[in-house]
Chains A and B, each alone.
Chain A
Protein backbone atom coordinates (compact mmCIF):
# COMPACT_ATOMS: atom_id res chain seq x y z
CA UNK A 1 0.00 0.00 0.00
CA UNK A 2 2.62 2.46 1.09
CA UNK A 3 4.85 1.53 -1.77
CA UNK A 4 2.06 2.16 -4.21
CA UNK A 5 1.29 5.60 -2.83
CA UNK A 6 4.91 6.58 -3.13
CA UNK A 7 4.94 5.42 -6.66
CA UNK A 8 1.90 7.44 -7.59
CA UNK A 9 2.82 10.73 -6.02
CA UNK A 10 5.73 11.74 -8.24
CA UNK A 11 3.67 11.11 -11.39
CA UNK A 12 0.85 13.24 -10.04
CA UNK A 13 3.25 16.14 -9.63
CA UNK A 14 5.03 15.53 -12.84
CA UNK A 15 1.97 15.47 -15.04
CA UNK A 16 0.81 19.10 -14.65
CA UNK A 17 4.36 20.44 -14.95
CA UNK A 18 4.95 18.79 -18.29
CA UNK A 19 1.50 19.63 -19.66
CA UNK A 20 1.34 23.22 -18.46
CA UNK A 21 3.85 24.56 -20.94
CA UNK A 22 3.43 22.29 -23.93
CA UNK A 23 -0.27 21.68 -24.24
CA UNK A 24 -2.21 24.92 -23.96
CA UNK A 25 -3.07 24.34 -27.59
CA UNK A 26 -3.91 20.72 -26.88
CA UNK A 27 -6.17 21.73 -24.00
CA UNK A 28 -8.08 24.14 -26.20
CA UNK A 29 -8.36 21.47 -28.87
CA UNK A 30 -9.75 18.91 -26.40
CA UNK A 31 -12.31 21.39 -25.08
CA UNK A 32 -13.49 22.28 -28.56
CA UNK A 33 -13.67 18.60 -29.50
CA UNK A 34 -16.14 18.15 -26.66
CA UNK A 35 -18.08 21.21 -27.82
CA UNK A 36 -18.10 20.28 -31.50
CA UNK A 37 -21.24 18.08 -31.67
CA UNK A 38 -23.27 20.73 -29.85
CA UNK A 39 -21.85 23.62 -31.86
CA UNK A 40 -22.43 21.87 -35.19
CA UNK A 41 -26.11 21.23 -34.46
CA UNK A 42 -26.44 24.67 -32.89
CA UNK A 43 -24.95 26.49 -35.88
CA UNK A 44 -26.71 24.40 -38.50
CA UNK A 45 -30.21 24.45 -37.02
CA UNK A 46 -30.32 27.64 -34.97
CA UNK A 47 -27.70 30.25 -35.72
CA UNK A 48 -27.65 29.98 -39.52
CA UNK A 49 -31.47 29.80 -39.82
CA UNK A 50 -31.77 32.82 -37.52
CA UNK A 51 -29.41 34.82 -39.72
CA UNK A 52 -31.06 33.49 -42.90
CA UNK A 53 -34.46 34.48 -41.50
CA UNK A 54 -33.23 38.02 -41.08
CA UNK A 55 -32.00 38.11 -44.69
CA UNK A 56 -35.14 36.48 -46.10
CA UNK A 57 -37.27 39.11 -44.36
CA UNK A 58 -35.92 41.61 -46.94
CA UNK A 59 -36.97 39.47 -49.92
CA UNK A 60 -40.25 38.50 -51.57
CA UNK A 61 -39.53 34.76 -51.39
CA UNK A 62 -42.50 32.51 -52.12
CA UNK A 63 -41.80 28.80 -51.82
CA UNK A 64 -41.38 28.40 -55.61
CA UNK A 65 -39.44 30.80 -57.85
CA UNK A 66 -36.46 33.05 -57.28
CA UNK A 67 -36.57 35.65 -54.49
CA UNK A 68 -36.06 39.39 -55.13
CA UNK A 69 -34.67 41.98 -52.77
CA UNK A 70 -37.49 44.23 -51.58
CA UNK A 71 -35.66 46.13 -48.81
CA UNK A 72 -38.14 47.09 -46.11
CA UNK A 73 -41.17 46.17 -48.20
CA UNK A 74 -42.24 43.28 -45.97
CA UNK A 75 -41.98 45.39 -42.85
CA UNK A 76 -44.02 48.14 -44.49
CA UNK A 77 -46.75 45.69 -45.42
CA UNK A 78 -46.97 44.00 -42.01
CA UNK A 79 -47.04 47.34 -40.19
CA UNK A 80 -49.81 48.52 -42.53
CA UNK A 81 -51.79 45.33 -41.90
CA UNK A 82 -54.65 45.68 -39.41
CA UNK A 83 -54.68 41.93 -38.87
CA UNK A 84 -51.06 42.02 -37.74
CA UNK A 85 -51.76 44.70 -35.14
CA UNK A 86 -54.77 42.78 -33.92
CA UNK A 87 -52.56 39.68 -33.54
CA UNK A 88 -49.98 41.72 -31.65
CA UNK A 89 -52.58 43.26 -29.32
CA UNK A 90 -54.09 39.83 -28.62
CA UNK A 91 -50.67 38.34 -27.93
CA UNK A 92 -49.78 41.14 -25.50
CA UNK A 93 -53.16 40.79 -23.78
CA UNK A 94 -52.65 37.04 -23.51
CA UNK A 95 -49.17 37.59 -22.03
CA UNK A 96 -50.60 40.11 -19.57
CA UNK A 97 -53.28 37.65 -18.48
CA UNK A 98 -51.08 34.59 -18.11
CA UNK A 99 -47.65 35.71 -16.88
CA UNK A 100 -48.65 37.32 -13.55
CA UNK A 101 -50.83 34.33 -12.69
CA UNK A 102 -48.17 31.84 -13.76
CA UNK A 103 -45.41 33.56 -11.79
CA UNK A 104 -47.26 34.66 -8.64
CA UNK A 105 -49.42 31.53 -8.65
CA UNK A 106 -46.45 29.25 -9.17
CA UNK A 107 -44.58 30.94 -6.33
CA UNK A 108 -47.64 30.85 -4.04
CA UNK A 109 -48.20 27.16 -4.67
CA UNK A 110 -44.52 26.44 -4.06
CA UNK A 111 -44.61 28.25 -0.70
CA UNK A 112 -47.83 26.43 0.25
CA UNK A 113 -46.56 22.99 -0.71
CA UNK A 114 -43.23 23.60 1.00
CA UNK A 115 -45.11 23.71 4.35
CA UNK A 116 -45.07 20.47 6.27
CA UNK A 117 -48.58 19.41 5.33
CA UNK A 118 -49.68 15.80 5.01
CA UNK A 119 -50.40 14.89 1.39
CA UNK A 120 -48.24 17.66 -0.04
CA UNK A 121 -46.38 15.21 -2.27
CA UNK A 122 -49.58 13.95 -3.88
CA UNK A 123 -50.77 17.52 -4.26
CA UNK A 124 -47.51 18.52 -5.97
CA UNK A 125 -47.82 15.63 -8.40
CA UNK A 126 -51.42 16.47 -9.29
CA UNK A 127 -50.59 20.13 -9.89
CA UNK A 128 -47.55 19.22 -12.00
CA UNK A 129 -49.35 16.56 -14.08
CA UNK A 130 -51.02 18.86 -16.68
CA UNK A 131 -47.51 19.77 -17.89
CA UNK A 132 -47.20 16.18 -19.20
CA UNK A 133 -50.30 16.54 -21.40
CA UNK A 134 -49.69 17.58 -25.00
CA UNK A 135 -51.03 20.90 -26.19
CA UNK A 136 -53.53 19.40 -28.63
CA UNK A 137 -55.12 17.26 -25.92
CA UNK A 138 -55.20 20.26 -23.59
CA UNK A 139 -57.06 22.24 -26.26
CA UNK A 140 -59.54 19.50 -27.10
CA UNK A 141 -60.25 18.73 -23.44
CA UNK A 142 -60.93 22.36 -22.55
CA UNK A 143 -63.14 22.84 -25.59
CA UNK A 144 -65.37 20.19 -24.04
CA UNK A 145 -65.18 21.85 -20.62
CA UNK A 146 -66.13 25.24 -22.15
CA UNK A 147 -68.98 23.69 -24.21
CA UNK A 148 -71.90 26.10 -24.06
CA UNK A 149 -74.72 23.61 -23.43
CA UNK A 150 -73.20 20.60 -21.72
CA UNK A 151 -69.79 21.83 -20.60
CA UNK A 152 -68.60 21.28 -17.06
CA UNK A 153 -67.85 24.95 -16.42
CA UNK A 154 -71.30 26.21 -17.34
CA UNK A 155 -72.93 23.47 -15.29
CA UNK A 156 -71.17 24.56 -12.11
CA UNK A 157 -71.64 28.25 -12.92
CA UNK A 158 -75.34 27.45 -13.42
CA UNK A 159 -75.57 26.02 -9.92
CA UNK A 160 -74.31 29.39 -8.62
CA UNK A 161 -76.76 31.47 -10.65
CA UNK A 162 -79.18 30.52 -13.46
CA UNK A 163 -77.99 33.51 -15.53
CA UNK A 164 -74.56 31.95 -15.83
CA UNK A 165 -75.97 28.68 -17.09
CA UNK A 166 -75.57 29.32 -20.84
CA UNK A 167 -72.53 31.56 -21.23
CA UNK A 168 -70.62 31.21 -24.47
CA UNK A 169 -66.86 30.97 -23.95
CA UNK A 170 -64.85 30.07 -27.01
CA UNK A 171 -67.43 31.59 -29.34
CA UNK A 172 -67.52 34.90 -27.47
CA UNK A 173 -65.39 37.81 -28.67
CA UNK A 174 -64.83 39.00 -25.10
CA UNK A 175 -64.38 35.72 -23.29
CA UNK A 176 -62.47 33.50 -25.75
CA UNK A 177 -59.02 34.94 -25.04
CA UNK A 178 -59.38 34.90 -21.23
CA UNK A 179 -60.71 31.34 -21.51
CA UNK A 180 -57.62 30.25 -23.43
CA UNK A 181 -55.47 32.09 -20.89
CA UNK A 182 -57.11 30.18 -18.04
CA UNK A 183 -56.47 26.89 -19.82
CA UNK A 184 -52.82 27.86 -20.30
CA UNK A 185 -52.46 28.74 -16.62
CA UNK A 186 -53.87 25.35 -15.63
CA UNK A 187 -51.51 23.64 -18.07
CA UNK A 188 -48.29 25.47 -17.18
CA UNK A 189 -48.47 26.58 -13.56
CA UNK A 190 -47.00 23.32 -12.23
CA UNK A 191 -43.69 23.87 -14.00
CA UNK A 192 -43.11 27.20 -12.32
CA UNK A 193 -44.19 25.73 -8.99
CA UNK A 194 -41.62 22.94 -9.29
CA UNK A 195 -38.81 25.34 -10.13
CA UNK A 196 -39.68 27.60 -7.21
CA UNK A 197 -39.98 24.57 -4.91
CA UNK A 198 -36.47 23.53 -5.87
CA UNK A 199 -35.31 27.03 -4.93
CA UNK A 200 -37.21 27.10 -1.63
CA UNK A 201 -35.60 23.87 -0.50
CA UNK A 202 -32.19 25.50 -0.75
CA UNK A 203 -32.96 28.39 1.63
CA UNK A 204 -31.32 27.61 4.99
CA UNK A 205 -33.83 27.26 7.83
CA UNK A 206 -31.53 29.33 10.12
CA UNK A 207 -32.39 32.49 8.17
CA UNK A 208 -36.02 32.12 9.20
CA UNK A 209 -35.08 31.25 12.80
CA UNK A 210 -32.99 34.40 13.04
CA UNK A 211 -35.79 36.50 11.56
CA UNK A 212 -38.30 35.03 14.03
CA UNK A 213 -36.02 35.88 16.94
CA UNK A 214 -35.94 39.45 15.63
CA UNK A 215 -39.75 39.43 15.64
CA UNK A 216 -40.42 39.31 11.90
CA UNK A 217 -43.90 38.08 11.01
CA UNK A 218 -44.78 35.70 8.19
CA UNK A 219 -45.28 38.47 5.63
CA UNK A 220 -41.97 40.12 6.50
CA UNK A 221 -40.18 36.78 6.35
CA UNK A 222 -41.58 36.24 2.88
CA UNK A 223 -40.70 39.75 1.74
CA UNK A 224 -37.16 39.91 3.13
CA UNK A 225 -35.98 36.28 3.04
CA UNK A 226 -38.00 34.13 0.65
CA UNK A 227 -38.41 36.57 -2.22
CA UNK A 228 -34.77 37.74 -2.49
CA UNK A 229 -33.40 34.21 -1.91
CA UNK A 230 -35.25 33.01 -4.98
CA UNK A 231 -33.45 35.55 -7.17
CA UNK A 232 -31.98 32.93 -9.53
CA UNK A 233 -35.37 31.28 -9.89
CA UNK A 234 -37.08 34.60 -10.78
CA UNK A 235 -34.43 35.25 -13.43
CA UNK A 236 -35.36 31.97 -15.06
CA UNK A 237 -39.11 31.70 -14.44
CA UNK A 238 -40.24 35.20 -15.39
CA UNK A 239 -38.45 35.57 -18.76
CA UNK A 240 -39.32 32.01 -19.87
CA UNK A 241 -42.98 32.54 -18.92
CA UNK A 242 -43.05 35.76 -20.97
CA UNK A 243 -41.31 34.13 -23.94
CA UNK A 244 -43.62 31.12 -24.03
CA UNK A 245 -46.70 33.36 -23.77
CA UNK A 246 -45.50 35.52 -26.65
CA UNK A 247 -45.20 32.34 -28.71
CA UNK A 248 -48.73 31.07 -28.01
CA UNK A 249 -50.15 29.12 -30.95
CA UNK A 250 -51.09 25.46 -30.33
CA UNK A 251 -53.89 26.04 -27.82
CA UNK A 252 -55.38 28.75 -30.01
CA UNK A 253 -55.17 26.65 -33.16
CA UNK A 254 -57.04 23.78 -31.50
CA UNK A 255 -59.56 25.73 -29.42
CA UNK A 256 -60.64 28.62 -31.65
CA UNK A 257 -58.38 28.69 -34.74
CA UNK A 258 -58.02 32.44 -34.05
CA UNK A 259 -61.71 33.28 -33.95
CA UNK A 260 -64.32 34.50 -33.23
CA UNK A 261 -63.66 37.46 -35.56
CA UNK A 262 -59.94 37.39 -34.88
CA UNK A 263 -60.33 37.89 -31.13
CA UNK A 264 -57.81 35.14 -30.36
CA UNK A 265 -55.61 35.57 -33.44
CA UNK A 266 -51.93 35.65 -32.32
CA UNK A 267 -48.58 36.70 -33.77
CA UNK A 268 -47.34 33.16 -34.41
CA UNK A 269 -50.61 32.32 -36.11
CA UNK A 270 -50.13 35.36 -38.33
CA UNK A 271 -46.63 34.14 -39.13
CA UNK A 272 -48.06 30.71 -39.98
CA UNK A 273 -50.83 32.17 -42.12
CA UNK A 274 -48.63 34.55 -44.09
CA UNK A 275 -45.96 31.89 -44.62
CA UNK A 276 -47.78 28.63 -45.13
CA UNK A 277 -51.34 29.57 -45.99
CA UNK A 278 -50.60 32.57 -48.27
CA UNK A 279 -47.01 31.52 -49.05
CA UNK A 280 -45.45 34.94 -48.45
CA UNK A 281 -42.28 33.56 -46.85
CA UNK A 282 -40.53 36.93 -46.80
CA UNK A 283 -43.36 38.50 -44.86
CA UNK A 284 -43.53 35.54 -42.47
CA UNK A 285 -39.80 36.00 -41.82
CA UNK A 286 -40.37 39.68 -41.06
CA UNK A 287 -43.01 38.66 -38.49
CA UNK A 288 -40.44 36.24 -37.02
CA UNK A 289 -37.85 39.02 -36.77
CA UNK A 290 -40.46 41.25 -35.12
CA UNK A 291 -41.23 38.51 -32.59
CA UNK A 292 -37.53 38.18 -31.81
CA UNK A 293 -37.13 41.94 -31.34
CA UNK A 294 -40.12 42.08 -28.96
CA UNK A 295 -38.80 39.09 -27.00
CA UNK A 296 -35.37 40.69 -26.82
CA UNK A 297 -36.68 44.07 -25.63
CA UNK A 298 -38.96 42.56 -22.98
CA UNK A 299 -36.19 40.28 -21.67
CA UNK A 300 -33.67 43.13 -21.51
CA UNK A 301 -36.19 45.23 -19.60
CA UNK A 302 -36.60 42.42 -17.09
CA UNK A 303 -32.84 41.99 -16.71
CA UNK A 304 -32.50 45.74 -16.06
CA UNK A 305 -35.19 45.48 -13.44
CA UNK A 306 -33.51 42.49 -11.78
CA UNK A 307 -30.14 44.22 -11.73
CA UNK A 308 -31.70 47.29 -10.13
CA UNK A 309 -33.31 45.35 -7.29
Chain B
Protein backbone atom coordinates (compact mmCIF):
# COMPACT_ATOMS: atom_id res chain seq x y z
CA UNK B 1 0.00 0.00 0.00
CA UNK B 2 2.81 2.38 0.90
CA UNK B 3 4.64 1.60 -2.29
CA UNK B 4 1.48 2.23 -4.27
CA UNK B 5 1.16 5.64 -2.61
CA UNK B 6 4.77 6.44 -3.45
CA UNK B 7 4.17 5.67 -7.10
CA UNK B 8 0.99 7.75 -7.09
CA UNK B 9 2.90 10.64 -5.56
CA UNK B 10 5.74 10.35 -8.07
CA UNK B 11 3.28 10.18 -10.95
CA UNK B 12 1.54 13.32 -9.67
CA UNK B 13 4.81 15.26 -9.61
CA UNK B 14 5.88 13.98 -12.99
CA UNK B 15 2.59 15.05 -14.54
CA UNK B 16 2.58 18.44 -12.84
CA UNK B 17 6.08 19.26 -14.03
CA UNK B 18 5.09 17.96 -17.46
CA UNK B 19 2.13 20.34 -17.58
CA UNK B 20 4.20 23.26 -16.37
CA UNK B 21 6.98 22.77 -18.95
CA UNK B 22 4.46 22.15 -21.71
CA UNK B 23 2.56 25.33 -20.86
CA UNK B 24 5.66 27.55 -20.68
CA UNK B 25 7.24 26.26 -23.90
CA UNK B 26 3.99 26.39 -25.86
CA UNK B 27 3.45 29.96 -24.70
CA UNK B 28 7.00 30.99 -25.71
CA UNK B 29 6.64 29.34 -29.10
CA UNK B 30 3.32 31.08 -29.74
CA UNK B 31 4.46 34.57 -28.72
CA UNK B 32 6.19 35.61 -31.99
CA UNK B 33 3.20 34.73 -34.20
CA UNK B 34 0.77 36.40 -31.78
CA UNK B 35 3.02 39.46 -31.79
CA UNK B 36 2.95 39.53 -35.58
CA UNK B 37 -0.88 39.47 -35.53
CA UNK B 38 -1.31 42.10 -32.86
CA UNK B 39 1.17 44.44 -34.58
CA UNK B 40 -0.56 44.04 -37.92
CA UNK B 41 -4.01 44.78 -36.52
CA UNK B 42 -3.26 48.09 -34.77
CA UNK B 43 -2.90 51.67 -36.07
CA UNK B 44 0.70 52.49 -37.04
CA UNK B 45 0.87 55.23 -34.37
CA UNK B 46 0.39 52.71 -31.56
CA UNK B 47 2.93 50.17 -32.84
CA UNK B 48 6.04 51.53 -31.15
CA UNK B 49 4.90 51.68 -27.58
CA UNK B 50 6.47 51.34 -24.21
CA UNK B 51 5.35 49.49 -22.17
CA UNK B 52 4.21 46.80 -24.57
CA UNK B 53 0.46 46.52 -24.89
CA UNK B 54 -0.82 43.20 -26.22
CA UNK B 55 -4.40 44.29 -26.90
CA UNK B 56 -4.55 46.90 -29.71
CA UNK B 57 -6.40 50.06 -28.61
CA UNK B 58 -8.19 50.02 -31.98
CA UNK B 59 -8.42 47.02 -34.23
CA UNK B 60 -7.96 48.13 -37.83
CA UNK B 61 -7.30 46.56 -41.22
CA UNK B 62 -5.66 49.74 -42.46
CA UNK B 63 -2.18 48.18 -42.48
CA UNK B 64 -3.36 45.52 -44.89
CA UNK B 65 -4.72 48.16 -47.23
CA UNK B 66 -1.50 50.13 -46.93
CA UNK B 67 0.77 47.21 -47.73
CA UNK B 68 -1.29 46.35 -50.82
CA UNK B 69 -0.91 49.95 -52.02
CA UNK B 70 2.81 50.19 -51.27
CA UNK B 71 3.67 46.76 -52.62
CA UNK B 72 1.23 46.25 -55.49
CA UNK B 73 3.10 43.14 -56.70
CA UNK B 74 2.32 41.27 -53.46
CA UNK B 75 -0.64 39.43 -54.97
CA UNK B 76 1.39 38.41 -57.99
CA UNK B 77 4.25 37.12 -55.81
CA UNK B 78 1.79 35.16 -53.74
CA UNK B 79 0.28 33.60 -56.84
CA UNK B 80 3.75 32.75 -58.17
CA UNK B 81 4.83 31.11 -54.92
CA UNK B 82 1.63 29.09 -54.65
CA UNK B 83 1.71 28.05 -58.31
CA UNK B 84 5.37 27.04 -58.21
CA UNK B 85 5.00 25.16 -54.91
CA UNK B 86 1.91 23.30 -56.15
CA UNK B 87 3.50 22.41 -59.49
CA UNK B 88 6.68 21.26 -57.75
CA UNK B 89 4.66 19.11 -55.35
CA UNK B 90 2.65 17.58 -58.19
CA UNK B 91 5.68 16.64 -60.32
CA UNK B 92 7.61 15.54 -57.27
CA UNK B 93 4.88 13.17 -56.08
CA UNK B 94 4.52 11.80 -59.60
CA UNK B 95 8.16 10.99 -60.28
CA UNK B 96 8.96 10.04 -56.66
CA UNK B 97 6.10 7.56 -56.43
CA UNK B 98 6.87 6.00 -59.82
CA UNK B 99 10.52 5.52 -58.88
CA UNK B 100 9.63 4.38 -55.36
CA UNK B 101 7.30 1.75 -56.82
CA UNK B 102 10.18 0.27 -58.82
CA UNK B 103 12.57 0.41 -55.87
CA UNK B 104 10.11 -1.06 -53.38
CA UNK B 105 8.32 -3.69 -55.45
CA UNK B 106 10.63 -4.88 -58.21
CA UNK B 107 13.90 -6.75 -58.44
CA UNK B 108 16.16 -5.41 -61.12
CA UNK B 109 19.77 -5.05 -62.10
CA UNK B 110 21.57 -2.20 -60.31
CA UNK B 111 18.82 -1.52 -57.76
CA UNK B 112 21.14 -1.02 -54.79
CA UNK B 113 23.42 1.32 -56.71
CA UNK B 114 20.53 3.44 -57.95
CA UNK B 115 18.95 3.67 -54.49
CA UNK B 116 22.17 4.49 -52.64
CA UNK B 117 23.28 6.85 -55.40
CA UNK B 118 20.08 8.85 -55.09
CA UNK B 119 20.27 8.93 -51.29
CA UNK B 120 23.92 10.03 -51.40
CA UNK B 121 22.94 13.15 -53.36
CA UNK B 122 21.13 14.40 -50.26
CA UNK B 123 24.68 15.37 -49.25
CA UNK B 124 25.12 17.76 -52.17
CA UNK B 125 24.08 21.21 -51.01
CA UNK B 126 21.79 22.88 -53.56
CA UNK B 127 24.10 25.86 -53.38
CA UNK B 128 26.90 23.82 -54.95
CA UNK B 129 24.77 23.23 -58.06
CA UNK B 130 23.49 26.80 -58.26
CA UNK B 131 26.38 28.28 -60.26
CA UNK B 132 26.37 25.70 -63.10
CA UNK B 133 22.57 25.64 -63.22
CA UNK B 134 22.43 29.40 -63.45
CA UNK B 135 25.18 29.59 -66.08
CA UNK B 136 23.50 26.86 -68.11
CA UNK B 137 20.03 28.41 -67.95
CA UNK B 138 21.33 31.92 -68.60
CA UNK B 139 23.45 30.87 -71.59
CA UNK B 140 20.59 28.89 -73.10
CA UNK B 141 18.50 32.10 -72.79
CA UNK B 142 15.90 30.20 -70.76
CA UNK B 143 15.75 32.84 -68.06
CA UNK B 144 14.78 35.57 -70.53
CA UNK B 145 11.22 34.25 -70.85
CA UNK B 146 8.63 34.04 -68.06
CA UNK B 147 7.77 30.46 -68.95
CA UNK B 148 11.43 29.48 -68.86
CA UNK B 149 11.87 31.15 -65.49
CA UNK B 150 8.88 29.29 -64.04
CA UNK B 151 10.31 26.00 -65.28
CA UNK B 152 13.70 26.90 -63.81
CA UNK B 153 12.04 27.50 -60.45
CA UNK B 154 10.14 24.21 -60.53
CA UNK B 155 12.36 21.47 -61.93
CA UNK B 156 15.64 21.81 -60.01
CA UNK B 157 13.77 20.91 -56.78
CA UNK B 158 11.46 18.26 -58.20
CA UNK B 159 13.74 15.23 -57.80
CA UNK B 160 13.34 14.90 -54.07
CA UNK B 161 15.49 12.19 -52.47
CA UNK B 162 13.78 12.45 -49.10
CA UNK B 163 10.32 11.95 -50.62
CA UNK B 164 11.61 9.02 -52.63
CA UNK B 165 13.04 7.41 -49.50
CA UNK B 166 9.83 7.95 -47.50
CA UNK B 167 7.63 6.50 -50.26
CA UNK B 168 9.94 3.54 -50.90
CA UNK B 169 9.83 2.61 -47.21
CA UNK B 170 6.06 2.94 -47.16
CA UNK B 171 5.44 0.95 -50.34
CA UNK B 172 7.57 -1.89 -48.97
CA UNK B 173 5.13 -2.25 -46.09
CA UNK B 174 2.05 -2.79 -48.28
CA UNK B 175 1.05 -6.49 -48.40
CA UNK B 176 1.95 -8.33 -51.62
CA UNK B 177 -1.35 -10.29 -51.80
CA UNK B 178 -3.37 -7.39 -53.17
CA UNK B 179 -0.88 -6.80 -55.90
CA UNK B 180 -0.72 -10.48 -56.83
CA UNK B 181 -4.48 -10.84 -57.16
CA UNK B 182 -4.62 -7.69 -59.28
CA UNK B 183 -1.89 -9.09 -61.51
CA UNK B 184 -3.88 -12.29 -61.97
CA UNK B 185 -6.83 -10.18 -63.03
CA UNK B 186 -4.60 -8.80 -65.76
CA UNK B 187 -3.67 -5.50 -64.17
CA UNK B 188 -0.51 -3.89 -65.61
CA UNK B 189 2.31 -2.58 -63.41
CA UNK B 190 1.15 0.96 -64.08
CA UNK B 191 -2.37 -0.08 -63.11
CA UNK B 192 -1.13 -1.58 -59.83
CA UNK B 193 0.80 1.61 -59.04
CA UNK B 194 -2.25 3.76 -59.75
CA UNK B 195 -5.11 1.60 -58.43
CA UNK B 196 -3.56 -0.24 -55.50
CA UNK B 197 -0.36 1.34 -54.23
CA UNK B 198 -1.27 5.04 -54.45
CA UNK B 199 -4.76 4.76 -52.85
CA UNK B 200 -3.23 2.84 -49.92
CA UNK B 201 -0.47 5.40 -49.38
CA UNK B 202 -2.44 8.47 -48.30
CA UNK B 203 -0.40 9.34 -45.18
CA UNK B 204 3.00 8.86 -46.86
CA UNK B 205 1.93 10.87 -49.91
CA UNK B 206 0.59 13.64 -47.69
CA UNK B 207 3.80 13.75 -45.64
CA UNK B 208 5.89 13.93 -48.82
CA UNK B 209 3.56 16.57 -50.25
CA UNK B 210 3.84 18.76 -47.16
CA UNK B 211 7.62 18.44 -47.10
CA UNK B 212 7.95 19.26 -50.79
CA UNK B 213 5.45 22.09 -50.70
CA UNK B 214 7.14 23.71 -47.71
CA UNK B 215 10.62 23.31 -49.19
CA UNK B 216 9.49 25.06 -52.37
CA UNK B 217 7.38 27.68 -50.57
CA UNK B 218 10.38 28.50 -48.40
CA UNK B 219 12.99 28.36 -51.13
CA UNK B 220 14.92 31.60 -50.95
CA UNK B 221 18.35 31.68 -52.60
CA UNK B 222 17.46 30.18 -55.97
CA UNK B 223 14.37 32.37 -56.72
CA UNK B 224 16.32 35.34 -55.39
CA UNK B 225 18.97 34.74 -58.06
CA UNK B 226 16.86 33.55 -60.95
CA UNK B 227 13.94 35.98 -60.96
CA UNK B 228 14.49 39.45 -62.34
CA UNK B 229 10.95 40.85 -62.65
CA UNK B 230 7.77 41.06 -60.60
CA UNK B 231 6.01 38.77 -63.07
CA UNK B 232 7.99 35.73 -61.97
CA UNK B 233 9.33 36.75 -58.53
CA UNK B 234 8.23 34.59 -55.60
CA UNK B 235 7.05 35.78 -52.22
CA UNK B 236 10.25 35.06 -50.22
CA UNK B 237 12.44 36.79 -52.82
CA UNK B 238 10.06 39.73 -53.24
CA UNK B 239 9.53 40.31 -49.52
CA UNK B 240 13.27 40.18 -48.91
CA UNK B 241 13.79 42.87 -51.55
CA UNK B 242 11.13 45.17 -50.10
CA UNK B 243 11.48 44.55 -46.36
CA UNK B 244 14.83 42.76 -46.01
CA UNK B 245 17.95 43.94 -44.25
CA UNK B 246 19.36 45.05 -47.59
CA UNK B 247 17.03 48.03 -47.82
CA UNK B 248 15.46 50.27 -45.20
CA UNK B 249 17.13 51.01 -41.88
CA UNK B 250 15.32 49.51 -38.86
CA UNK B 251 14.38 52.88 -37.39
CA UNK B 252 12.33 53.94 -40.39
CA UNK B 253 10.43 50.68 -40.86
CA UNK B 254 6.66 50.89 -40.57
CA UNK B 255 6.23 47.67 -38.65
CA UNK B 256 2.44 47.71 -38.71
CA UNK B 257 2.46 47.62 -42.47
CA UNK B 258 5.34 45.14 -42.68
CA UNK B 259 3.64 42.75 -40.27
CA UNK B 260 0.42 43.01 -42.29
CA UNK B 261 2.41 41.85 -45.31
CA UNK B 262 3.89 39.06 -43.21
CA UNK B 263 0.43 37.94 -42.08
CA UNK B 264 -0.85 37.90 -45.67
CA UNK B 265 2.12 35.78 -46.72
CA UNK B 266 1.72 33.38 -43.80
CA UNK B 267 -1.95 32.78 -43.11
CA UNK B 268 -3.20 30.77 -46.12
CA UNK B 269 -0.49 28.07 -46.10
CA UNK B 270 -0.55 28.05 -42.31
CA UNK B 271 -4.22 27.10 -42.22
CA UNK B 272 -3.75 24.29 -44.76
CA UNK B 273 -0.70 23.14 -42.82
CA UNK B 274 -2.55 22.98 -39.48
CA UNK B 275 -5.34 20.96 -41.10
CA UNK B 276 -2.95 18.47 -42.74
CA UNK B 277 -0.26 18.16 -40.08
CA UNK B 278 -1.67 15.05 -38.36
CA UNK B 279 -1.14 13.08 -41.58
CA UNK B 280 2.42 14.24 -41.42
CA UNK B 281 3.08 12.36 -38.18
CA UNK B 282 1.20 9.31 -39.46
CA UNK B 283 3.12 9.31 -42.73
CA UNK B 284 6.47 9.39 -41.00
CA UNK B 285 5.66 6.96 -38.20
CA UNK B 286 4.33 4.36 -40.62
CA UNK B 287 7.47 4.49 -42.70
CA UNK B 288 10.62 5.78 -41.09
CA UNK B 289 11.11 3.39 -38.22
CA UNK B 290 10.89 0.23 -40.32
CA UNK B 291 14.16 1.20 -41.95
Chain A positions near chain B (C-beta within 8 angstroms)? 8, 11-12, 15, 27-28, 30-32, 34-35, 37-39, 41-42, 44-50, 52-53, 56, 61, 63, 109, 112-113, 115, 117, 119-120, 122-123, 125-137, 139-145, 147-150, 152, 155-156, 170-171, 186, 190, 194-195, 197-199, 201-202, 218, 232-233, 236, 240, 243, 246-247, 249-250, 253-257, 259, 268, 271-272, 275-276, 281, 284-285, 288-289, 291-292, 295-296, 299
- Verify if B132 is at the interface (C-beta below 8 Å from A): yes
List the one stretch of B58-66, B68-76, B217-225 in contact with chain A: B217-225
Within 8 A of A (CB), among B5-36: 14-15, 18-19, 21-22, 25-26, 29-33, 35-36
Sample of 25 A–B contacts (CB below 8 Å): A12-B184, A31-B102, A34-B98, A37-B98, A38-B118, A49-B129, A112-B22, A132-B273, A133-B266, A133-B270, A134-B265, A145-B32, A149-B50, A150-B48, A198-B281, A198-B285, A198-B288, A201-B285, A233-B288, A233-B289, A247-B125, A253-B245, A284-B131, A285-B132, A291-B127
* B220 lies within 8 A of A135 (CB): yes
* B118 lies within 8 A of A45 (CB): no
* A38 lies within 8 A of B239 (CB): no
The docked-state distance in angstroms from the alpha carbon of A291 to that of B15 is: 45
The docked-state distance in angstroms from the alpha carbon of A268 to that of B131 is: 12
Known: A136-B235, A140-B243, A247-B125. A202 touches B99 (CB 8 A): no
The docked-state distance in angstroms from the alpha carbon of A39 to that of B113 is: 13
Chain B positions near chain A (C-beta within 8 angstroms)? 14-15, 18-19, 21-22, 25-26, 29-33, 35-36, 39, 47-52, 91, 94-96, 98-99, 101-103, 106-109, 111, 114, 118, 121-136, 138, 155-156, 158-159, 164, 180, 183-184, 189, 193, 214, 217-218, 220-221, 224-225, 235-237, 239-240, 243-246, 250, 253, 255, 258-259, 262, 265-266, 269-270, 273-274, 277, 280-281, 284-285, 288-289, 291
The docked-state distance in angstroms from the alpha carbon of A296 to that of B121 is: 10
* A142 lies within 8 A of B32 (CB): yes
The docked-state distance in angstroms from the alpha carbon of A202 to that of B282 is: 11
**Closest residue of chain A to B21, judged by CB?**
A112
